[in-house]
Structure 1
Amino acid sequence: MVGGGIISRRPCTFSGDGKFILAPTNNVVHIYSVVTGDRVNILEGHTSDVTSVILNPENPNQVYTSSLDGRICIWDISDGKRVAIYEVQHAMVHMVLHKDLKSAYVSIQCNDPQQPGRIALVNLGDAQYSARTRKYFPRLSSTVMKLRKTTPLALSPSGVFAATIIKQSLLIWRTGVDMNQSVNLHHTKAYTCLAFHPTDAMVAVGDVSGRILLWRDFAEHVPAVRKEGAHSGNYLPPVPPPLTTVHWHAHPVCSLAFSPDGTRLLSGGHEGTLVMWILDENHVRPTFLPRLGGPLIGIHISPEDPSKLVIRQSSNVLRVINTATLKVEMSVFGVRPPPAGVASYIADAGAQVVSALSGSSAANIGSGKKLILLPSEDCHLQWYDPVADKHVRLLQIVPRNQVDATSISSTISDLFPGVIPSASQPHNSNNNPFHALFSNSAVVQPFVQHVAISPNGKALVTVDVRPLGYVPPSSSVAAGAQGGGKGAADGGALTEASLKFWSMAGEGEFEINTRVEDVHNGHITSVAYHPFLDLVVTTGGGHGSDWEFRVWAKETRGGAAAASRLAANQSKRIKGAEGGEGTKGEDTKGKAKNKAESEASPIYEYWHCRSVASYRNCPLRTATFSADGSMLALATGSGKVTLWDVFENSLLAVLPSVTSAGVSSNGLGVSAAAAVMGVAGLNGTIVLGAGSSNSGGGGGGG
């Protein structure tokens, strides 16, 4: 089975008839239908990451692929079979094909520590064929362009020019001659991406500041012969070609593409907006397709229908867009990336980042196979089918707009100086599990910390955490900080946590039923759902929590249930009237009226906390129910596992501590308890397994 991977990382392409999208993912190429988004085939055969996929200019039913395994392969799209193998024997990061030269320009990696990047010309037309190995062995050009890193490549539609970018330099050379005879169009900012105009009239280049530079009439500045004493990137034209600069993006431009007729330039970046620049003779004006749900890192236009294009997004999504109607026609979702900057906290807190569904649970969501639930960026929860390797559903736990990471960090630094740790004043990450949330390289965003789902898949429980800031231990603000629990008084992360109960609203969609704020002082270490009943247990044991466990139950109001409760309450009041309170006689007419009104009232359900308990003021790490639901097991930070009757809220037993040999401060050997970080019951048995945080610890059974 081939599954997972980042489908949007590498440049993709349309098939020659525009009916399929070919997307490199790890060491394979996925083929998706443009109409349905279903995966229809896989190109398998490379042994390392596939870095590019390009249509065969001589056969629209075939594609070329390059890979880090040092091979260029030709594939037949219709049957997925490999037609030919070219052994280049160098790891290729980028590739462009030249039809007339029957060659490929490749950007390769080498072992040179000073200049690890190379651009070379691979002659595919006269490659030697080995009948024994059934492979072609092409020749590399005698001259190569040496660079400090591997760089992207672009080939003009006419095939006359090739180009690359490195830092502030745009290098353009004529194909078929020494590539070191290039012109360097220098810029004050670092370049990020490039694209040639269909008529070679201009080349567009994006930079890190969000500007797009349009170099016009550059052809006459590209030398046809070597300038005296010149080498790679050293020829600067005395008079640069005409330049037009446009600026809309607030952050680096990540992708550029010209329409086939050359009348429009399309650009994308961190803003999640597709910008379409109308190229008039007198000025350049933009139009927009906003709110695409994530940064755009690639734009690729269909060869069959110029109005259709596919965009690649950093959230592991491919979207087919019709620029004529300005609508998204189809989306392909891969496994969405986890929330940025929270991995260390999730690990420290023992958060449940994956939940599995099978049987009726998966069927109720919309799939008859096993599913997994994955928290992802922007506080989404993804249902994913690992068997079919297919996205099923997406639920946004916290409504929010897509915000760029750079703008978040800069805004917090400006408004709350000292909140984000700096190199000069770092905070102790060992004492602060939220340290990663407030580093300069992390995105401060809400994230899903825990997920639990009912056995029938019709109810969902989530815990989402919203980081508010960081208070150093010496800060005077710490003592009066709100929302951080006991930990805020000693310094540390300030957070808010929401416990949310969701109900299925039909067609696999969920809606919030009950929302509870600041449970366990905002630090919840685990959530467990009863195997048969609508009963949920949450535990507190993190930094600043109340170190208790709470039992939550679903309550039904309205309709016949309300009428039954009303009748019972009235009966109690009549029996108690003998003490002089109320009326002795039963008001049958009033009772019947109230019953009818109650039965006619709408039925609604909600969740409430039924009981609270703790064990000797010990932090609680995780919870699990027995297979028959009769017992609740709680793992404590003191190394013990406690067994509870969740219905009576009574302690049944305490399992022996998980211990490890240690040495006390006076040098005497002692037996020290290790914190139990996890506990789980084996389905269908009475065996209980526990995992210790100490490498020398063991497990307990009960």
Structure 2
Amino acid sequence: YLLYASGDFVKVYSVNTEEIVRLMGGHADLVTGIQLNPRNHMQLYSSSLDGTIKLWDFMDGILIKTFTVGSKLLALYTLASAEDSVFVVIPKKGERDTFQLVSVKLTKGAGQDLEGKELSVVLDDVGASMKHTAFGREGAYVVSVKDVNLQVYFFKRKLLNRFSLSTLKTKGGDNRFSCVVCHPKEDCIATGHADGKIRLWRNFHHKKEYTYSTLHWHHDIVMDLAFSLEGTRLLSGGVESVLVQWHNESSCQKDFLPRLGSPIEYISMSSDGVLCSTLHTDNRITIINSNLRFSRSIQGLIKSRDVKTGLVVDPRTKALVLNGEPGHLQFYSLQSDQQLFSLDIVQRQYIHQAGLKQSDLVKVAFSARGTWLATVEESEEVTDPELQLKLWFYNEEIQSFELNTRINTPHDNHITDMCFRDMVELGDDSLILVTTGRDCVFKVWVMVEDTDPEAQQSVSWTCDFVGSYHNYQATNCCFSEDGSLLAVSFEETVTVWDSLTWDLKCTFCHPPGNIRNICFGRLTCSKYLIGATDYGFLCCWNLLTCALDWSAHLNVVVLQPDPLSEHIAAVSWLSKESSLFVFKPNEPRPIYIQRNLCKEKILLAAFVPRDEPEITSSEKYLWLRKSQLFFLTDTQELMTLSTKSLEERLTPSSKQLAVEESLPVTPFSLLLGKHRRQQAQEDTDPGKLVVHNKQEQASPAVKELLHTPAHVLPSASFLCTIFINSLLISKENKSAEEVADEVEMESEKAEDDSDEEDGTAMEQEDTSHMELLEEVTCKLSKSQEKELRKIRKMDYSWISAL
């Protein structure tokens, strides 16, 4: 298994099946470190910025212990020689940007939540990154680097040695430390530096007699280092996207694995030395064999420099589409939490060098069926940008998009927005593409038959109409749900155009401030047009009356309509706080408000249609039944709103139980199953009293209690809530028949009272019989009770005549 931290979760990845088999969540903030338990390799320690250390059984995905330290934890280390203790990096109290390495005594106790307040300082003024501290052979010493300083602390001798390099940057040299790692078998320290050099330190037990040798291949900073299991090989990585393997600490013997795609941030070796993994800056993990051969990779959501395309949903795959690698579009699957594929749009080699003006992808739009894709790419020049509009058609044979039309300089200045006319019922014959630009015009592009006999495609795209309004810059555009109207914003004014004749129908304005976002209402709210200004106003105009229906003072940065309902999501940014407001245009009062949604600023949002409507019992989440809302923050973290709690989403043994139920049957299980079937048949025989009890053992909560090994079970207080909830009977809605039965029961209440005396006597006679069924409760339905009352009131006097 490969274990890695992802946000505030820890994921367990199967190297063989290439699937995520466990998702362990419980931290309230970013996970900063994970380490295997040295005394039990089936357990894992994790640290977080929330100030807690958690112990997991990662095979079953069960949380065993939580130790509260009370301070932000920036890195985590474990040692086999340090019993019941771990090492963490924490901020030093009273000093800014100063950190210290401390030892945390893990308290032993019966409960699950324990205190980890017993701290002892090991080193002061250490680096905040996990790569800045390393433990030596068998935990005899600890090494820390910061700036140009290296310090070594020997535990038994309680000796601290400090070493410093020159701060002068001569001949391109930069001696600042970037990472450190220790040899697993010998007293040797390897350090990486900002100028690309690697130094191997020896004899550092003495302050003056120490020595070091130098290895140099990287032209820029060494990002990370790692020794092999026996220490015969040293791996290094940096911004060159090349993994370098050094043999026997010699600069002459080295191997390379090039073209890994992006700079290497971290290198990790497996415990058996067979595999190593590299973490890259594009949020990708590469697994590499010991012979330096590529094995497989795990690609997450790529972090680009700037997500200029926005969050777009592919109608075919329901994948999120946004900027990926430079000049590429990434199609990201939300179901598998992995990248589906990457589409090269710019089709130029990207050069990793500062100061170069290179083309990048800025706008993306899909047609309603996903058969057409429009992209806009432009150079980084501010005054005279190089623009290209490309139309791509999806080829079913190759299962990818092919370039159909390339239009050079579609506008004289930057393109600000782009949209297709979405009319699914008319198909691609009604396709229209609209682009807006800073050249104060919007352009309409339509498909025409290609008359060129040498052309490979039968259709191409051309400009059909150019519109403008008082020489104002065009900023946003969108079509109504039926495609009959086009709204284009020109600075402070919103214009509405007929999409058949391109006549200007009406204009709306709400000064002061330019229009930041616009969108049409849908379904029953299709007569409304919503707009947000950069002066902090949210406006709703009625297209039938051409008047303002309502406005709200709200600084909206994101305005996103749900394509499957009338709901519109608005995200505001005020006082360093992102808040979510969900509303219908015909109701000015929001139906859902979530203040302080996240700490970061939300820049983009998108509704993704669900495969099936989600069943939710909470009324406040009914607007999420058909679609799921995703957000992208300024730190490029992808988040979503969930209708389920964390306990409901994380069921550690659910997959395990599902596997057990699908296992092949054994002779014993066949015998046991036959006995159960016979018992079920006896219960259904007529004339026998059948008492139906809730089968508690069929509950997942009870199965988890019975199937989980006892030594990894959480405390009873943690399982109590889940267990009690599993025993509760869900409240069902009353049918019309049951309501009628209740009315009839009330009318017969007087007759029932007259029979109470006889019933009391019967109860006294049957006391001895009821003692036998003391533990059994027979609960009849209301219809059955009604039938019994009718039988009791029936006249049986005719029997005496027989």
Length-normalised TM-score, structure 1:
0.70
Listed as ranges, the matches of 1:273-352 within 5 Å are: 273-279=242-248, 283-304=251-272, 306-324=273-291, 326-327=293-294, 329-340=295-306, 352=309
| Shift in CA distance, 104/602, structure 1 to aligned 2, threshold 3 Å | closer
2:444 to 551, 556, 565: 551
Q: Could you list the per-position Cα deviations for residues 141-164 of structure 1 after superposition, in whole angstroms to 9, with x for gaps in the alignment? A: 2x4422175353211242222111
1:240 aligned residue: 210
Q: Is the 8 A contact 1:378 1:445 kept in 2?
A: no
Tell me the SS of whatever aligns to 2:412.
helix
Q: Is the 8 A contact 2:246 2:253 kept in 1?
A: yes
Q: Could you list the per-position Cα deviations for residues 557-599 of structure 1 after superposition, in whole angstroms to 9, with x for gaps in the alignment? A: 48xxx9xxxxxxxxxxxxxxxxxxxxxxxxxxxxxxxxxxx8x
Q: Is the 8 A contact 2:375 2:389 kept in 1?
A: yes
Q: Give the partner amino acid of 1:246.
A: L
2:45 aligned with 1:64, yes or no?
A: yes
Please list every run of 5 or more consecutive structure 2 residues that lacks an aligned counterpart in the other structure: 168-174, 544-802
2:435 aligned with 1:539, yes or no?
A: yes
Quote how far apart the aligned CAs of 1:113 are.
2.0
1:395 to 343, 350, 353: 343
2:23 aligned residue: 42
Q: Could you list the per-position Cα deviations for residues 172-224 of structure 1 after superposition, in whole angstroms to 9, with x for gaps in the alignment? A: 2223553x623425454110011112212421101111111111343x43xxx
Q: Is the 8 A contact 1:154 1:195 kept in 2?
A: yes
% same residue: 27
Tell me the SS of whatever aligns to 2:218.
coil
2:518 aligned residue: 679
| Shift in CA distance, 199/292, structure 1 to aligned 2, threshold 3 Å | same
Quote how far apart the aligned CAs of 1:553 are.
1.9
1:463 to 372, 376, 390: 376
Tell me the SS of whatever aligns to 1:378.
coil
| Shift in CA distance, 35/175, structure 1 to aligned 2, threshold 3 Å | same
Tell me the SS of whatever aligns to 1:158.
helix
Distance across 2 between alignment mates of 1:193 and 1:307: 23
Distance across 2 between alignment mates of 1:525 and 1:128: 61
Q: Give the partner amino acid of 1:110.
A: K
2:216 aligned with 1:202, yes or no?
A: no
Q: Give the partner amino acid of 2:491.
A: G
Q: Could you list the per-position Cα deviations for residues 304-354 of structure 1 after superposition, in whole angstroms to 9, with x for gaps in the alignment? A: 3x2421110111111112242622x222222222324xx7xx5xxxxx511
Distance across 1 between alignment mates of 2:94 and 2:467: 63
Q: Give the partner amino acid of 2:238.
A: G
Q: Is the 8 A contact 1:455 1:531 kept in 2?
A: yes
| Shift in CA distance, 701/335, structure 1 to aligned 2, threshold 3 Å | farther
Distance across 1 between alignment mates of 2:251 and 2:304: 42
Distance across 2 between alignment mates of 1:603 and 1:72: 60
1:24 aligned residue: 5
Listed as ranges, the matches of 1:661-676 within 5 Å are: 674-676=513-515
Distance across 1 between alignment mates of 2:157 and 2:68: 24
| Shift in CA distance, 639/252, structure 1 to aligned 2, threshold 3 Å | same
Q: Is the 8 A contact 1:310 1:318 kept in 2?
A: yes
1:510 to 382, 395, 401: 401
Q: Is the 8 A contact 1:504 1:510 kept in 2?
A: yes
Q: Could you list the per-position Cα deviations for residues 516-548 of structure 1 after superposition, in whole angstroms to 9, with x for gaps in the alignment? A: 121111411111112135434333332xx2x22
Quote how far apart the aligned CAs of 1:287 are.
2.0
Q: Give the partner amino acid of 1:112.
A: G
Distance across 2 between alignment mates of 1:628 and 1:163: 67
Quote how far apart the aligned CAs of 1:387 are.
4.8
Listed as ranges, the matches of 1:81-96 within 5 Å are: 81-96=62-77
| Shift in CA distance, 331/620, structure 1 to aligned 2, threshold 3 Å | same
Listed as ranges, the matches of 1:639-654 within 5 Å are: 639-645=493-499, 647-648=500-501, 650-654=502-506
Distance across 2 between alignment mates of 1:181 and 1:264: 28
Distance across 2 between alignment mates of 1:107 and 1:325: 33
Quote how far apart the aligned CAs of 1:256 are.
0.5
Quote how far apart the aligned CAs of 1:138 are.
5.8
2:384 aligned residue: 494
2:496 aligned with 1:655, yes or no?
A: no
Listed as ranges, the matches of 1:429-440 within 5 Å are: none
| Shift in CA distance, 265/504, structure 1 to aligned 2, threshold 3 Å | same
Quote how far apart the aligned CAs of 1:678 are.
2.4
Q: Compare relative contact order (CA 8 Å, sep 6+) and give the higher one, 1 or 2.
A: 1
Tell me the SS of whatever aligns to 2:386.
strand
Q: Could you list the per-position Cα deviations for residues 390-422 of structure 1 after superposition, in whole angstroms to 9, with x for gaps in the alignment? A: 322221222344543xx323xx5xxxxxxxxxx
2:133 aligned with 1:163, yes or no?
A: no
| Shift in CA distance, 613/655, structure 1 to aligned 2, threshold 3 Å | closer
Tell me the SS of whatever aligns to 1:291.
coil
2:88 aligned with 1:106, yes or no?
A: yes
Structure that is richer in helix per residue: 2
Quote how far apart the aligned CAs of 1:683 are.
2.7
Q: Could you list the per-position Cα deviations for residues 599-621 of structure 1 after superposition, in whole angstroms to 9, with x for gaps in the alignment? A: x9965332222232323323211
**Rg: which structure is higher?**
2
2:474 aligned residue: 620
Q: Is the 8 A contact 2:324 2:342 kept in 1?
A: no
Distance across 2 between alignment mates of 1:115 and 1:609: 57
| Shift in CA distance, 74/448, structure 1 to aligned 2, threshold 3 Å | same
Q: Is the 8 A contact 1:537 1:623 kept in 2?
A: no
Length-normalised TM-score, structure 2:
0.62
Distance across 2 between alignment mates of 1:169 and 1:603: 64
Aligned length: 525
Q: Is the 8 A contact 2:44 2:55 kept in 1?
A: yes
1:120 aligned residue: 102
| Shift in CA distance, 44/638, structure 1 to aligned 2, threshold 3 Å | closer
2:354 aligned residue: 408
Q: Is the 8 A contact 1:153 1:163 kept in 2?
A: yes
2:462 aligned with 1:608, yes or no?
A: yes
1:355 aligned residue: 312
Q: Is the 8 A contact 1:169 1:187 kept in 2?
A: no
* Root-mean-square deviation over aligned CA pairs: 2.6
Task: State which drifts further: 628-637 or 161-170.
Answer: 628-637
Tell me the SS of whatever aligns to 2:527.
coil
Distance across 1 between alignment mates of 2:90 and 2:140: 22
Q: Is the 8 A contact 1:36 1:330 kept in 2?
A: no
Q: Is the 8 A contact 2:418 2:436 kept in 1?
A: no
Please list every run of 5 or more consecutive structure 1 residues that lacks an aligned counterpart in the other structure: 1-19, 222-236, 347-351, 363-369, 413-443, 469-491, 563-597, 661-673
Distance across 2 between alignment mates of 1:48 and 1:465: 38
Distance across 1 between alignment mates of 2:349 and 2:58: 39
1:698 aligned residue: 539
Q: Is the 8 A contact 1:128 1:138 kept in 2?
A: no
